[in-house]
Amino acid sequence: MASAHHDIECEFCGQRNEKIVDPKQLPCGHIHCMPCLTSHYEKNKICWCGLQSCGKVYKMSPESLADLDVDAAKLCDACVKKGQRNRLALSYCAACSKKFCKEHLEQHDVLLDNHHTVSMNQYMSGESQHKPDICTKHENQPLVFGCKVCHTISCMKCVADSSKCEKGGPHDFQLLEDLAASLLDTALTEESTTKDEEYEKLFKEVSQVQADFDDETQAMLLLIHNTRDSQLNEIKLKYDTLEKHVLENRQQSQTKIADFIEDELLKQWNSLRTNKELLETGTKSHPPAAIVRGFKELKAELDRIAKEDLPKLKLTDQLQLKQTGERRDIELEIISSPDITIEEQKAPPVKLPKSLTRLSSVQLPSRPISICHYKGNTYIGLLDNTVSRVDIDNNITNKFICTSCPVESVTCYKDRLYTLSDTCPLTVSVYSMEGELITSWEHPNHGSWSDMLVIIKDKVLIADPPNSRITTYSLDGQVLHHIPCPPLTDSSNVTMCAPDSSSLILSSYKHSKVFKIDTATHEVMWTLTEVKYPRGLVSYGEYVLLAAYDNNTKYIINSTTGKIVSQMAHDDIAGGSALSLELSGSTLLLPKYDSREVIFYQMNS
């Protein structure tokens, strides 16, 4: 039992002096009675400081704590945990929230050489101690737990009140310090050995190019300096200007080389590593069929990356100096400027499609309105308020997603599926690739029936004909800005596609008009009026494929000039209007509204 002259108080129950039961002192120096510590430990397997301004958490049992008459705040935490209570601590680690004696400090520094420790004098003075983060939902409750799944940080009351994780399943809580350590220790899996060797070889070649360029530049500078020393002082300023020019050009070249490494090499390398990680770990929790399909798609992507030629770096037209032979003036002049050529990888230009060959078809439960293709699966918005999914083997999953109204538009972006439903007002819904609703928002209803949702650079674009504009949203539904579009006035049945990241091509069924608009300047770049009642649009390299109402012809338009350059036709296209089109490589996906089917055609050049 403690004596009165200690003037102590349990931070949990408030008992003081003689009334406190078996007082124990935590490493932070605060006093608690044994029953309080034991009660918390039995519930949470931790010792928690009850002082609201402290709130530190320790992974030790109350039995391992020092008695009150021992200065526990100065003992080595590792020794205390092992029952060795007679070793004083020399240093304190803020990252681990622990004190260490000489022996355990050496072990700590070997294993965790990036942790910063301070002396016990500095620690006891309070200079290195951090105030705990306090929960915003529960007053004076420190944040001590984190979820391994969604990384939500919680206090003890949040843990008791928690429901489902943001990822859909239950939370998996652990101490914040353990979660932080595990996140810091996460490492990338092994990359493809063969591709690594190619990258390492190319890095060495680039380094050699840069080293040779540096040697040549230094030789030029030496020539400049030697010549300058033989000239009169009055021309020194001209030499300084020349030297500055050479160094500026050298810096520009070094910047281009660095950008080449970062933008060209690392971009492909990271793509290789990302797809390999997905191949190794991304499908472990999926059904066998999904694993096989995912393996097939990711393996094809890895094969494509492995077969690609790496970009090349060359120095051409290098900087040179010429002696003029004149006297009493600068005797050197630059006769050419440096230029670094980066042979970038460019997608091969698509060949102009001229005819169609039917490959297969899939019968649908209702009339199709919209369609998109993403990672081997095809998603079709139907008139019966559902979305069907067709996999790479043409197996159909009906009612993959159920909505309250017909799905006018469906598109996929960054492993999310976006739909636009014909409600009043229109509703944009965002789903996971498993069909679970993530979020939704409303868009003003314009009374048309069309494929109007396009995503460019993390922005969702939706046509708004009554206001003669296109509304731009963030991926979670926040209005960002409006793009004025006067040709949309009084339009209905509007479709649109994005040939690049800075423009849109739209078709107006009512006005029999197709036009291209610059999303930055709002300028109408061209207008096409030769096609009667245009409907579905889809980009194909430098071309745009266009379908017309009740017409078995598909028009190929040059997206730069707006001119019709070719046409494709097939007998079984007739008799069903195509409200939207989609492409998968050189395969055209055509939903037929009247016959309730999707037909797959090979485009022949």
Instruction: Tell me whether the omega of the peptide bond preceding residue 444 falls within 30 degrees of 0, making it cis.
Output: no
pLDDT at 286: 58
The more confident residue out of 481 and 336 is: 481
Q: What is the pLDDT of residues 80-111, one digit of tens each?
A: 777 654 566 788 887 787 888 888 888 888 77
Residues paired with 527 in a beta bridge: 515
What is the reported pLDDT for 60?
83
Where is pLDDT greater, at 479 or 59? 479
Tell which residue, 521, 523, 495, has the closest CA to residue 510.
495
pLDDT of residue 518: 92
Instruction: Please give the pLDDT value at position 387.
Output: 96
Confidence band for 411, pLDDT divided at 50, 70 and 90: very high
Angle between helices 193-229 and 266-281 in degrees, nearest 10: 160
Q: pLDDT band for position 580 (50/70/90)? A: confident
Question: What's the pLDDT score for residue 264?
Answer: 65
Count of alpha carbons within 13 Å of 25, Cβ hemisphere only? 18
Q: In the predicted model, is pLDDT for residue 52 greater than 80?
A: no
Which residues fall within 8 angstroms of residue 237, CB to CB, at 6 or more apart? none
Q: Is 597 helix (H, G, I), strand (E, B) or coil?
A: strand
Q: How confident is the model at residue 576 (pLDDT cuts 50, 70, 90)?
A: low
Of the pLDDT bands very low, low, confident and very high (cuts 50, 70, 90), residue 569 is confident
Edge-first strand listing for the sheet containing 543-548? 534-540, 543-548, 553-558, 564-569
For 253-270, write each residue's pLDDT tens digit: 777 777 777 666 766 677
Residue 274 class from Cβ within 10 Å (0-12 exposed, 13-18 middle, 19+ buried)? middle
pTM exceeding 0.75: no
In the three-class reduction of DSSP (H, G, I as helix; E, B as strand; rest coil), residue 60 is classed as coil
Amino acid at 93: C
Name the residue among 224, 205, 230 with its Cα closest to residue 320: 224
Cβ atoms of 76 and 123 within 8 Å: the answer is no
Tell which wins on pLDDT, 134 or 347: 134
Confirm if 432 and 417 have CB atoms less than 8 A apart: yes
Amino acid at position 112, single letter:
L
Task: Name, in order, each residue with C-beta under 8 angstroms of 50's C-beta and a sequence gap of 6 or more.
Answer: 10, 11, 12, 30, 32, 36
Q: Does the pLDDT at position 70 exceed 60?
A: no
Q: State pLDDT tens for residues 288-327.
A: 666 666 666 667 666 766 666 666 666 554 566 666 655 5
Give the model's pLDDT for residue 413.
Answer: 93
Residue 594 pLDDT level (bands cut at 50, 70, 90)? confident
Across the range 489-507, mean pLDDT stands at 87
Q: How far apart are CA 590 and CA 605, in angstroms?
A: 18
509 φ/ψ sector (left φ>0, alpha ψ -120 to 50, else beta): alpha
- Sheet bearing 597-604, strands edge to edge: 355-363, 597-604, 587-592, 582-584
pLDDT at 460: 94
For residue 317 the two structure tokens come to 């037209």
2 pLDDT above the threshold of 50:
no
- Residues whose CB is less than 8 angstroms from the CB of residue 135 and which lie 6 or more positions away in sequence, other chains included: 141, 142, 143, 154, 155, 157, 158
What's residue 378's pLDDT? 95
Q: Of all helices (H) and strands (E), which one includes residue 254?
A: helix 236-259
Give me the chain's average pLDDT, please: 79
Answer yes or no: is pLDDT of 128 > 50: no
The predicted structure's pLDDT at residue 422: 82
Output the pLDDT for position 538.
93
Determine the pLDDT at residue 189.
45
Confidence check: pLDDT of 129 > 60:
no
d(CA 71, CA 432): 56
Secondary structure letter of residue 393 according to DSSP? T
Cβ contact 488:519 at 8 Å: no
